[in-house]
Each structure stands twice: as structure tokens, then as C-alpha cells.
Structure 1
Amino acid sequence: MIKAVVFDIGNVLVEWHPERVYDPVVGPALRDHLFHDIGLAAMNEAVDAGAPLAASVSALAATHPDHADHIRLWQTRWGEMFAPEIPHAIRLLRALRAAGVPVFALSNFGCETFAQAETMYPVLTEFDRRYISGHLGVIKPDPKIYQIVEADCGLPPAALLFTDDRPENIAAAAARGWHTHLFDGPQGLAARLLAEDLLSERDAQ
């Protein structure tokens, strides 16, 4: 029996699209080069695992001075990358809480950026428990982060329903016995919550 619903945040509750900032400035080809060859994606993964954002951006910019201004966009325009909220998904989270179903966050997120995100989107303060990778020092899909959730919340894997937009994160949770839902829009999640009798049809709207 499912006793709690675990939400990813980026692209589940709030859209996360760094390319929306970079593409108008540098174009898709250079953006891809910045992310994968220059190392912005790897830097962001390190930040999600607990590395300080400002120092990480500065270090990468110093290593690649020809792209320094573009690299610094990751910090100066981060708030534009993490936007907008997904209203129906937020309604589902709040409906679950109103129905007495605990809701947890399990998200890859840097410490500083999560603090900024909380000021932008108050819903991020509404979880019953929050498991943020930057605070924990481990990121999805490492099995350790799922173990941390289980140990802290005291619920067995079969009591948890996890929704995330990344198949590898879903697969890692399913391997531990969690119920899972690959998020591809709030309508699909609403249907799953209805099917599990966690929400009424009215509350899933």
C-alpha cells in the first residue's frame, strides 16, 4: 500500500531548461559545446552533489577564459532556467497533502540554487520531508540517495510512489522496490494517483 508520494522537482513541479537562456545568446551548437565539451553539465552535476556554485562557476570560467561570460550565465541567469512552475502538478501535490498523504521531495539540486528556488516558488517549502542532493552529498540515480530516503522516512520501499522525469532515476528507485511513475506531464501523474486511490477525480483536476 502506498503511504507517501515522492516528487522530483525539476521538470515535474517547475520547468528546468538551461537551453532557454543559452540558445538565444550563443545558439544551439555553441550551447552544446559549452554544456558537454567545456564542462557546464559536469559542473552542474558537481554542484548538485554539494560543490559551491559561485566557486564552481568561477573555476570553470578561469579554465576557459574565452567562454567566461557564457559560463557565468549559469549563475547570473539561473532563475530564468528554472521556470515556470507547472500549475497542475503543484495542485496535485497540494491535493495529496490535503488528503492526508505525505509528500516528499527527492531532487538533484545545489544548496545555493535550492535556497534561491524556495524564494521563487513557495511550494518547495510545503513538503513533509525534503531530500536535496546538495545537502546529502549524493545525487540520483546513486542507490545511496534512495537508501537515505528509506532510512529517514521509516517507510518500506513498497510504500513509496516516486515520480521523476528521468528514466534512469525511475529505474534506480524501481530496483529498490519503490512504485514509480515516469513523469511526462501532470495529466499522466493525475491518472496514476487516481488509479492508486490516492486522490479523487475532483481533486486530481
Structure 2
Amino acid sequence: MTPRAVVFDIGNVLIEWNPERFYDRTIGVARRKALFAEVDLEGMNRQLDLGAPFRETVEALARQHPEWSAEIMAWHDHWLDMASPEIPDSVRLLQGLRANAVRTVALTNFGTETFGIAERAYPFLRAFDLRVVSGHLALMKPDPQIYQHVENATGLSGADLFFTDDRPENVEAAAARGWQVHLFDGPQGLARRLRDLGLPVDEEAA
């Protein structure tokens, strides 16, 4: 069955998200491993994805760990370096769908302020028919309520929706609702899946 809307995750599907790579480059692998072992940066990022204020949240964690203050503040000051570059072939797939009048939706765990930074850096993020951003709703994948929000907003459910994400738990949550799904492993795999479903595919991206 050909879906009526394609739902994209953003991080590691349309743009790369790799804080570890940033820190490896700036402070070295050994120090980065120590930082991530001693400081709950992932927990801080979850707060951001649920809508917490960007600078204030990062500063609060930096105050808790003064020995890592500069490294923690880099999460704020160099955030875009961690959320880059775009994944060109994935973006071409998105643009090809839109050029063929296929409805597209963004469903992403993303902070409110960081999403604003991202859409200024990556204008294609403004082109979706619907954008469901965790920070705006204070809900994160794989919470079933955020998938319900997509269904309510689009008027679609079950196999009418196709979803791609790089995290298995997020894909499984969509599959549990009857959505068609694809665990993202690169643009070429996504292109094959879209083609198999009868959706238009940008051949250059494929």
C-alpha cells in the first residue's frame, strides 16, 4: 500500500547529529570519553528536547561541574557544529517527494531554540507540510502521544503514514500504531524503500 504521507526524523536522517565527533576534534578522544562518563550531557539534551530553555539549562549543568564548565558550555556555543552537515541525498529525497505533491511531515526530538537555529542553517526544514517538534509539545518519541499528535494533525493513521527514523525504539513505536516504517541506515536504503512503496524517488539520491 502506498502511504499518503512520509514522516521524517531529522537528526541522523536529514542532518548529522554527532556531539562526540565535535568533542573528539576539539578536546581529544580520551578527554571526551571522560567528559561523557562524568557529566550527563544526554540527560541535559533530553531536557532541551522537552522544551527547557537552551542557555539556562546548559549553564546550570556547567555550574554543577565547574571542572568541565568550558566543555559543557560548548554544547551551547558550538551546537551547530554538532548538528552538521546535512545529508544531501536524504534532502534530495525529501525535496523529490515534495516536488511530486507527496505530503511530508517532520517528527523530531528537538529543542525549541535549537530547532530555530537549525531551520535558519538548513532552510529545507521549513518546507514540510507539518512539523512536530518535541520541544513545542513537551513530548518526546517514543511516547505514543507524539505519534497520536501526528495522526490528529494529518487526519491520517495506520498504513497511510510511512515513518523513517534512525532509532529502533522510535520506529517500533510507530509500527505499533500500524504505520509503515523504515529504520534509517542511509539514503540509499530509504530510496529503495520509498520506491518499493510506489513513491517518487529522486534518482540522483538513489
Q: TM-score range by the shorter chain?
A: over 0.9
Which residue number in structure 2 is paired with residue 22 of structure 1? 23
Q: Return 129-138 or 149-158, whichever deviates more.
A: 149-158
CA distance in 2, matches of 1:178, 1:138: 19
Which residue number in structure 2 is paired with residue 109 of structure 1? 110
Query: Counterpart of 1:16 in structure 2: which amino acid?
Result: W
- 1:161–1:178: 8 Å Cα contact kept in structure 2? yes
CA distance in 1, matches of 2:147, 2:37: 27
Query: Counterpart of 2:36 in structure 1: which amino acid?
Result: F
Which residue number in structure 2 is paired with residue 157 of structure 1? 158
CA distance in 1, matches of 2:132, 2:197: 24
**Unaligned 5+ residue runs, structure 2?**
none
Which residue number in structure 2 is paired with residue 62 of structure 1? 63
- 1:107–1:132: 8 Å Cα contact kept in structure 2? yes
Query: Counterpart of 1:115 in structure 2: which amino acid?
Result: G
| 1:25-40 equivalent positions in 2, closer than 5 A | 25-40=26-41
Using the size of structure 2 for normalisation, the TM-score is 0.95
Percent of aligned positions with the same letter in both sequences? 55
Which residue number in structure 1 is paired with residue 148 of structure 2? 147
Q: Deviations over 1:155-192 (max 9, x none)?
A: 01221000001111101111111100011100001101
Which residue number in structure 1 is paired with residue 7 of structure 2? 6
Query: Match of 1:15, SS?
Result: coil
CA distance in 2, matches of 1:130, 1:98: 18
- 2:14–2:90: 8 Å Cα contact kept in structure 1? yes
Q: 1:66 to 1:96 in 2, by over 3 A?
A: same
Q: 1:36 to 1:150 in 2, by over 3 A?
A: farther
Q: 1:200 to 1:87 in 2, by over 3 A?
A: closer
- 1:36–1:42: 8 Å Cα contact kept in structure 2? no
CA distance in 2, matches of 1:148, 1:123: 22
Which residue number in structure 2 is paired with residue 74 of structure 1? 75
Which residue number in structure 2 is paired with residue 90 of structure 1? 91
Which residue number in structure 2 is paired with residue 124 of structure 1? 125
Using the size of structure 1 for normalisation, the TM-score is 0.95
Query: Match of 1:124, SS?
Result: helix
Q: Deviations over 1:34-59 (max 9, x none)?
A: 33531111000110011111110010
CA distance in 2, matches of 1:64, 1:161: 42
Query: Counterpart of 1:118 in structure 2: which amino acid?
Result: E
Q: Return 194-203 or 37-46, whichever deviates more.
A: 194-203
Query: Counterpart of 2:47 in structure 1: which amino acid?
Result: A
Q: 1:85: how far off?
A: 0.8
Which residue number in structure 1 is paired with residue 197 of structure 2? 196
CA distance in 1, matches of 2:179, 2:30: 38
Q: 1:203: how far off?
A: 7.3
Query: Match of 1:30, SS?
Result: helix
Aligned length: 205
**Unaligned 5+ residue runs, structure 1?**
none
CA distance in 1, matches of 2:5, 2:160: 7
- 2:92–2:202: 8 Å Cα contact kept in structure 1? no
